C-alpha cells in the first residue's frame, strides 16, 4: 500500500522546521513537560510586537470589554469542555471496544464527518488559528502594560516534534504583578478569539460560501462520504473523505461521470479504484437491490471547498480544548488564577491545581482509548 501523501508532506514539513531551528539554534528555547513525552520547541522572533503595541493603545475601551467577555466565555467554555470530556470518558469506560473515540489528533489525513483534512487544509488552518490566537494574547498583554518579550513559531512534541504552533512570550513576572482580572483576560483572549473566528466562518459558510460552492459542486470532484462494512470498499481499507479520481483507468471528475461508470460494473468484476490517497483492487459484490449489477459498497457526494469547514471546525475545537485545564493550556493557567481567589495558601493551591490537572489528563487519555484499541486490533488482524 502506498504511503499517504499527506504524511509524506507532514514529514517533509517537520524536517524543514527542524533544520531551520537547528541553523538558528541561538534563538531556540525548549519548554519541557514530562520530557521526552511532551515538550515545546520555540523559535523566537520580534514579528508583530510593534502592531500589538499599536492596537492596544488605539482601542483601549473596546479591548477592555473584549478582555472581560473573554474571561466569562473562557470559564463557561472550560466547564463545557470538562463536562463533555467527562461524559465521553464515562461512555468509553462502559464499552471501550465499541464506543466511538472521544478525541483524535488533528493531523493531516484526519477524518471528521466525511471530510478529510489534507496537508494543505491543515497548514492553512493552523496558520490562521495560531496567528489570531497569539496576536490576541499579545494585544491584551500590552493593554495591561505587560512587556511582550518575543513572538515566533513553535513545535509541540509528543515524542516527535510534529505539531506546529505560534507563541507570544509575555514577561511572566510583570503579568503576575497585575490584577487577577488582567491576568485572566490575557490568558482567556486567545481561545475567545478562536471561538470568535469560528463564529465568523460559520456565518460565512451558511450565508456566503455554501450558496456559491453549491453552484460549482458538479465539476469539483467526488468525495466518499459513507462505506458499508459488509462490502468491498470498506474491506479494501478505503477511508471516508478520500476523493475518487479514476475507475479502471477512466477519469471521473463529477458525480454524473462516476454514476455512468458505476452502471457498467457487474458482480465479480475486478475494479481498480484510484483516489487521491491510494489505488485499490476490488472485486465487485452483487448489488443488494439489483441482481444484474455489481456493487462496491460506497456512497459519494460532490467535493466542496473543504478548507472553509476546517477553518471553522479547528478554530472551534482548539479554542475549546485550549480551555481544558491540562499542563500548558491557557485553561490550566486560568484555572490556577481562578483558584487563587478561593485558596490563599500557595502550597495547597498547587496541590489542588495539580490534582485537577492529573484528573483531566487521565480523562483525555481515556477519550483516545477506542482509537488505540482499534489500531491494535487492525495490526492483529
Task: Report the Cα 70 to chain-centroid distance in Å.
Answer: 21
Q: What is the structure's pLDDT at 381?
A: 47
More confident residue, 242 or 158: 242
Residue 78's pLDDT is 97
pLDDT (mean) for 39-64: 90
Question: CATH 2.30.42.10: which residues of the chain?
Answer: 221-303
Beta bridge partners, 157, equal 39, 161
Q: What angle do CA 257, 262, 265 make, to 5 degrees?
A: 145
Higher pLDDT, 306 or 266: 266
Q: Which one, of 346, 347, 229, 363, lies nearest residue 297 by Cα?
A: 229
CATH architecture type of domain 221-303: Roll (2.30)
Query: pLDDT value at position 115?
Result: 63
Q: How many other CB atoms are there within 10 angstroms of residue 105's CB atom?
A: 11
CB 7 within 8 A of CB 108: yes
State what percent of residues in the chain have pLDDT above 90. 39
The position carrying cell 510586537 is 49
Selection from 101, 82, 79 nearest residue 91 by Cα: 101
Mean pLDDT within 57-83: 96
Q: What is the pLDDT of residues 207-230, one digit of tens each?
A: 776 555 544 444 467 888 788 888
Which residues is 274 bridged to in the sheet? 246, 279
Cell, residue 18: 527542524
CA 279, CA 292: separation in Å to the nearest integer? 26
What percent of the chain shows pLDDT beyond 70? 88
Choose the weakest-confidence range: 189-198, 255-264, 300-309, 328-337: 300-309
Arithmetic mean of pLDDT, 185-190: 96
Between residues 274 and 116, the one the model is more confident about: 274
CA distance 227 to 241: 10
Can you give the pLDDT at residue 215?
Answer: 46
Flag the least confident range among 43-47, 48-52, 181-185.
43-47
Q: How confident is the model at residue 358 (pLDDT cuts 50, 70, 90)?
A: very high
Question: Rounded distance, CA 166 to CA 52, Å?
Answer: 15
**Look-up: residue for cell 451558511?**
206
Look up cell 517537520; give the residue: 14
Q: Which three cell numbers stand for residue 149?
A: 518579550
* Confidence grade of residue 307 (pLDDT, cut at 50, 70, 90): low
Tell me the Ramachandran region of residue 248: left when phi exceeds 0, alpha when psi lies from -120 to 50, beta otherwise.
Answer: left
Q: With bands split at pLDDT 50, 70 and 90, how would you rate the model's confidence at 1?
A: very low
Q: How far apart are CA 111 and CA 149, in angstroms?
A: 38
SS3 244: strand
Nearest CA to 111 out of 230, 2, 243, 207 is that of 243
pLDDT band for 199, please (50, 70, 90 cuts): very high
The pLDDT value given to residue 270: 92
Mean pLDDT for the stretch of residues 92-106: 84
Give the whole-angstrom CA distance, residue 196 versus residue 189: 10
What is the pTM (predicted TM-score) of this model?
A: 0.75
What is the Cα–Cα distance from 364 to 102, expressed in whole angstroms?
Answer: 8
Question: Which pLDDT does position 240 carry in this prediction?
Answer: 79
Amino acid at each position: 500500500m502506498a504511503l499517504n501523501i499527506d504524511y509524506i508532506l507532514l514529514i517533509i514539513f517537520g524536517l524543514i522546521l527542524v533544520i531551520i531551528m537547528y541553523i538558528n539554534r541561538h534563538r531556540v528555547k525548549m519548554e519541557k513537560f514530562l520530557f521526552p513525552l511532551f515538550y515545546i520547541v520555540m523559535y523566537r522572533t520580534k514579528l508583530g510586537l510593534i502592531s500589538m503595541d499599536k492596537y492596544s493603545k488605539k482601542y483601549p475601551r473596546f479591548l477592555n470589554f473584549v478582555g472581560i467577555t473573554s474571561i466569562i466565555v473562557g470559564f463557561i467554555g472550560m466547564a463545557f469542555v470538562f463536562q463533555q470530556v467527562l461524559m465521553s470518558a464515562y461512555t468509553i469506560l462502559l464499552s471501550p471496544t465499541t464506543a466511538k473515540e472521544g478525541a483524535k489528533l488533528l493531523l493531516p489525513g484526519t477524518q471528521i464527518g466525511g471530510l478529510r483534512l489534507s496537508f494543505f487544509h491543515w497548514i492553512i488552518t493552523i496558520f490562521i488559528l495560531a496567528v489570531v490566537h497569539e496576536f490576541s494574547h499579545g494585544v491584551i498583554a500590552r493593554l495591561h502594560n505587560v512587556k511582550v518579550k518575543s513572538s515566533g513559531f513553535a513545535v509541540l512534541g509528543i515524542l516527535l516534534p510534529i505539531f506546529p504552533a505560534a507563541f507570544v512570550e509575555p514577561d511572566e513576572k510583570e503579568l503576575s504583578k497585575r490584577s487577577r482580572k488582567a491576568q485572566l483576560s490575557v490568558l482567556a483572549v486567545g481561545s475567545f478569539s478562536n471561538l470568535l473566528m469560528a463564529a465568523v466562518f460559520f456565518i460565512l459558510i451558511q450565508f456566503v460560501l455554501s450558496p456559491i460552492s453549491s453552484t460549482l459542486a458538479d465539476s469539483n470532484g467526488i468525495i466518499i462520504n459513507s462505506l458499508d462494512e459488509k462490502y468491498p470498499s470498506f474491506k479494501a481499507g478505503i477511508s471516508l473523505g478520500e476523493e475518487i479520481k479514476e475507475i479502471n483507468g477512466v477519469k471521473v471528475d463529477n458525480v454524473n461521470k462516476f454514476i455512468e461508470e458505476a452502471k457498467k460494473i457487474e458482480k465479480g468484476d475486478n475494479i481498480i479504484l484510484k483516489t487521491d490517497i491510494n489505488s485499490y483492487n476490488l472485486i465487485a459484490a452483487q448489488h443488494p437491490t439489483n441482481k444484474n449489477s455489481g456493487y462496491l459498497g460506497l456512497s459519494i457526494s460532490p467535493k466542496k471547498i473543504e478548507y472553509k469547514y476546517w477553518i471553522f471546525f479547528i478554530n472551534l475545537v482548539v479554542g475549546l480544548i485550549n480551555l481544558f485545564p491540562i499542563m500548558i493550556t491557557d485553561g490550566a493557567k486560568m484555572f490556577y488564577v481562578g483558584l487563587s481567589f478561593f485558596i490563599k495558601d500557595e502550597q495547597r493551591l498547587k496541590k489542588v491545581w495539580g490534582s485537577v490537572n492529573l484528573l483531566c489528563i487521565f480523562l483525555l487519555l481515556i477519550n483516545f482509548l477506542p482509537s488505540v484499541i482499534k489500531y491494535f486490533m487492525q495490526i492483529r488482524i
